[in-house]
Chain A
């Protein structure tokens, strides 16, 4: 079983809301930070933010602060990334990734990615 499994691809209209998920297994969910990374079509990786499921301490990149919300559900060992009002420029693949405990804060395990398409 894969440690990080993300929700399926989404097609949304501008202005709609969306929440995508990252369900974890095989390790102590509350002991590792989890982050979200954006990859726009044909572009590089962008750090969005990270959350510590143990106490929900959340740190956002200034580039994304106010545009997204990162949260967790400890009962289901799931992390979420959500938007209140999508824009066409949110079209991208979004990855969740675990921050390794002994990896100098590198992302040691990645989800498979969720493709989000925002189009009218």
Chain B
């Protein structure tokens, strides 16, 4: 199975900050990485798929990039509603399509 190692596990930041979260895949997965946001008590929400394609309706301050087996989610200027937990997921080849361990982003 392909494993996703996500870092950091937690992050404190302020409104207006630029934030990056990284996932490293255990093997080549091309661009088959997705990013989700989950707020407390809610279902996850898809933000980015295919490593860098913004899901419809998601603000443009969210972006994704890749370099080899490293994938990054960037929030360019944090807004109060962005404080949540973020997960990466790989969806390459056959299942299982494993998730990263999650990054909890809270207010500094």
Contacts and interface: CB of A to CB of B under 8 A. Distances in A.
Interface of A: 35, 37, 44-47, 49-50, 59-63, 95, 97, 100, 103-108, 110-113
Interface of B: 1, 31-32, 34, 36, 38, 43-46, 49-50, 53, 55, 87, 89, 91, 94-102
A45 B44 CA distance: 9
A106 B46 contact: yes
Contact of A49 (B46, B95, B100): B95
Contacts of A59: 94-96
15 contacts: A44-B99, A45-B89, A45-B99, A47-B97, A50-B97, A59-B95, A61-B98, A62-B96, A100-B46, A104-B50, A105-B32, A106-B34, A107-B36, A108-B49, A110-B45
A7 to B, nearest CB: 14
Given A104-B32, A107-B34, A113-B43, A61 B95 contact: yes
Contacts of B31: 104
A104 B34 contact: yes
A35 B31 CA distance: 20
A62 B1 contact: yes
B46 A112 contact: no
A92 to B, nearest CB: 14
